[in-house]
Structure 1
């Protein structure tokens, strides 16, 4: 079930934000162009030379990591009933965060990753069978085994996400980096909504550790369309 951000309008953005999104959109379309010319797509590139595709396995093996930005992503599948082929999970690891950025306090039994192993989930990107993104979503802590940071802190990290190398695919890494720019407003809303959902769930289920509750996995989601987002941005820039 996808949620439409209430009173959400790109018209509220300033010129600099729209210009950044327009540039990101043009870059994404160029990625699609070069992939299409070779008969390829985003998902196919991630799965290339990875052998049999198994649910829950990470692709590519050992994930994709940028040692300079400490950005990370992987692709996998386990929600075939959700109308998707699979999805990307994107992260920033602790060394890529400001020194004073800390996870929320937690007194549960589950051990969270700490130090250089700590990471925060930025956003998930669901893909269709043709290799195109169809939705963005956030998740509860247990889903990715992250440390839990406040939405406001994660929003500060979005500009730091960058995969600046060619493994497993240069077009894919450019695409995922710029997708988070093109849909920055939606991602910010999703993260803020995530915190509201978790807070409400905690109030309604006070006897359980909300971050480990298997009944709460997807905390916010919204359908997306790259071409429609680009058209909206360009129309606003022309006004």
Structure 2
């Protein structure tokens, strides 16, 4: 009887621990979801505040320059905006069909080498429309696997004071927080695509000009 009682009590304890662990996981997931919603609300707030001023994020990042559909023209200026303290940087330009323009975002790894994170697509109204990863020939950066990209992107932060209208940088910071889950998924999809390409062609895809975007996620900001 004592042995049976021991196993019974042990089972109860294990069940309680399992339920407790599951609740913690659910609580963490709910917290992450609510946090993402908060950052999406901040993004919408930035877009609306600029609209009330008769402006938008694209107009702001163009820095008074005319719109040019040319990959060599970078906004707000050549070299983009760099945060020397955090190692993150960005620039905006336009050259892809069916897209008004996009931000490129970068990090520096522990060796100080530049790593491209995500491409952030924008429409003419200055609204976020998508997130993508790009082939290495596009930006000439260092290739790292998805796990490292996730690590670097999770800490993305640039000081808003680095640009004359800090809302542009705040927007980018918020995108990384609001869409962390989606960003992680396109990193995984990128690695899966690279693996599939290598298995098919017996070579790496990094210089194949036929492939610019390796994975993407369309975003409908006002229907999330």
TM-score tier after normalising by the smaller chain length: 0.7 to 0.9
* Aligned length in residues: 196
Contact 2:47-2:126 at 8 Å conserved across structures: no
- Higher RCO (CA 8 Å, separation ≥ 6 residues): 1
Q: Does 1:202 align with 2:217?
A: no
Q: What is aligned with 1:132?
A: 127
Q: What is aligned with 1:60?
A: 76
Rg comparison, structure with higher value = 2
**Offset at residue 18 of structure 1 (A):** 1.5
Contact 2:70-2:93 at 8 Å conserved across structures: yes
User: Which among 216, 222, 232 is matched to residue 211 of structure 2?
Assistant: 216
Q: CA RMSD in A?
A: 1.9
CA distance in 2, matches of 1:129, 1:142: 26
Q: What is aligned with 1:232?
A: none
Question: Could you report, residue by residue, the CA deviation over 1:68-97 in whole angstroms, capped at 9, with x for unpaired residues?
Answer: 211111111111x2x210111111122xxx
Q: What is aligned with 1:73?
A: 90
CA distance in 2, matches of 1:130, 1:181: 22
Q: What is aligned with 2:99?
A: 84
User: Which among 154, 159, 165 is matched to residue 154 of structure 2?
Assistant: 159
SS in 2 for 1:199: helix
Q: What is aligned with 1:186?
A: 182
Q: What is aligned with 1:170?
A: 166
**Offset at residue 51 of structure 1 (A):** 4.6
TM-score (norm 2): 0.81
Cα gap change, 1:45 to 1:142, in 2 (>3 Å) = same
CA distance in 2, matches of 1:78, 1:47: 14
Contact 1:46-1:168 at 8 Å conserved across structures: no
Runs in 1 of length 4+ with deviation above 4 angstroms? none
Listed as ranges, the gaps of 5+ residues in structure 1 are: 1-10, 100-114, 230-239
Contact 2:47-2:127 at 8 Å conserved across structures: no
CA distance in 2, matches of 1:204, 1:196: 12
CA distance in 2, matches of 1:156, 1:22: 21
Question: Could you report, residue by residue, the CA deviation over 1:162-198 in whole angstroms, capped at 9, with x for unpaired residues?
Answer: 1213314211110111011111111111000001101
CA distance in 2, matches of 1:141, 1:168: 31
CA distance in 2, matches of 1:197, 1:52: 33
TM-score (norm 1): 0.76
Contact 1:45-1:168 at 8 Å conserved across structures: no
Contact 1:66-1:165 at 8 Å conserved across structures: no
